[in-house]
Amino acid sequence: MRYQNYINGRWVDSEQHDPNRNPSDLSDLVGEAAIATPALAQEAIAAASAAFGAWSESPVQLRADILARVGHEIVDRKDELGRLLAREEGKTLREAIGEVMRAGQIFKYFAQEALRPHGQLVASVRPGIDVEVTAEPVGVVSIITPWNFPIAIPAWKLAPALAFGNCVVFKPAELVPGSAWALAEILSRSGLPDGVFNMVLGRGTELGPVLTTSPDVAAVSFTGSEATGRRIAQALGGTSTRLQLEMGGKNPLVVLGDADIAVAVDAAVQGAFYSTGQRCTASSRIIVTDDIHDRFTRALREATQRLRVGHALDDATDIGPVADASQLDKDLGYVALGRQEGAVLACGGERLRCASDGFYLAPALFLECESGMRVAQEEIFGPVATVLRARDHDHALELANDTPFGLSAGVCTRSLSAARRFRRQLRAGMVMVNTATAGVDYHVPFGGIRASSYGPHEQGWAAREFFTAGKTSYIRA
Ligand code: ADP
Instruction: Report pLDDT digits (tens) over 348-368.
Output: 999 999 999 999 999 999 999
Whole-number pLDDT of residue 37 = 98
Rounded-to-10 torsion of CA 227, 229, 231, 233: -150
Distance between Cα 354 and ligand 1 center (Å) = 30
> Dihedrals φ, ψ of 134, to 5°?
-125, 160
C-alpha to C-alpha distance for 275 and 149, rounded to whole angstroms: 10
Question: Is 149 a residue whose pLDDT tops 80?
Answer: yes
Q: What atom of ligand 1 comes closest to residue 228's alpha carbon?
A: 6
Return the residue whose CA atom lies nearest to atom 25 of ligand 1: 208
- Across-strand partners of 309? 319
pLDDT digit string (tens) for 324-337?
Answer: 999 999 999 999 99
Catalytic residues: 246
Q: What is the pLDDT confidence band of residue 118, given thresholds at 50, 70 and 90?
A: confident
pLDDT digit string (tens) for 177-197?
Answer: 999 999 999 999 999 999 999
> Dihedrals φ, ψ of 130, to 5°?
-110, 150
The chain-wide mean pLDDT, for the chain, equals 97
Contact in structure between 349 and 364 (CB atoms under 8 Å): yes
Q: What atom of ligand 1 comes closest to residue 202's alpha carbon?
A: 16
Return the residue whose CA atom lies nearest to atom 16 of ligand 1: 204
Whole-number pLDDT of residue 422 = 98
Handedness of CA 382, 387, 388, 394 (dihedral sign): positive
Probe residue for ligand 1, chosen from 148, 210, 228 as the CB with the greatest number of ligand atoms within 8 Å: 228
Q: What is the pLDDT confidence band of residue 425, given thresholds at 50, 70 and 90?
A: very high
Q: What atom of ligand 1 comes closest to residue 148's alpha carbon?
A: 3
Residues near ligand 1 (Cβ within 6 A): 144-147, 171, 173-174, 204-205, 208-209, 212, 224-225, 228, 231-232
Q: What's the one-letter identity of residue 227? A: A
Q: In what order do the strands lie in the sheet with 430-433?
A: 344-347, 364-369, 384-390, 285-289, 252-255, 408-412, 430-433
pLDDT exceeding 70 applies to what percent of the chain? Answer: 100
Q: What atom of ligand 1 comes closest to residue 232's alpha carbon?
A: 24
Cα 170 to chain center, whole Å? 15
Return the residue whose CA atom lies nearest to atom 2 of ligand 1: 225
pLDDT exceeding 90 applies to what percent of the chain? Answer: 99
Distance between Cα 172 and ligand 1 center (Å) = 9
> Dihedrals φ, ψ of 18, to 5°?
-115, 140
Distance between Cα 290 and ligand 1 center (Å) = 40
Q: What are the respective helix, strand and coil percentages of the chain, to the nearest 5?
A: 40, 25, 35
Distance between Cα 7 and ligand 1 center (Å) = 21
Distance between Cα 268 and ligand 1 center (Å) = 28
Question: Is 117 a residue whose pLDDT tops 80?
Answer: no
pLDDT digit string (tens) for 375-418?
Answer: 999 999 999 999 999 999 999 999 999 999 999 999 999 999 99
The mean pLDDT of 197-219, rounded to a whole number, is 98
Q: What atom of ligand 1 comes closest to residue 327's alpha carbon?
A: 2
Selection from 436, 430, 419, 399 nearest residue 258 by Cα:
419
Work out the number of other CB atoms within 10 angstroms of the CB of residue 79: 11
Q: In what order do the strands lie in the sheet with 468-476?
A: 119-123, 129-137, 468-476
Task: Enumerate domains of the chain plus CATH numbers.
Answer: 2-248+442-476 (3.40.605.10), 252-433 (3.40.309.10)
Whole-number pLDDT of residue 327 = 98
Question: Is 477 a residue whose pLDDT tops 90?
Answer: no
Give the length of the chain. 477
| SS3 per residue for 128-150 | CEEEEEEEEECCEEEEECCCCCC
Whole-number pLDDT of residue 6 = 98
- Across-strand partners of 57? none
Selection from 431, 461, 457, 470 nearest residue 443 by Cα:
461
Distance between Cα 38 and ligand 1 center (Å) = 15
The mean pLDDT of 278-306, rounded to a whole number, is 98
Probe residue for ligand 1, chosen from 35, 144, 244 as the CB with the greatest number of ligand atoms within 8 Å: 144
Q: What is the pTM of this model?
A: 0.98
Whole-number pLDDT of residue 208 = 98
Of the two residues 117 and 335, the one the predictor is more confident about is 335
Q: What is the pLDDT confidence band of residue 1, given thresholds at 50, 70 and 90?
A: confident
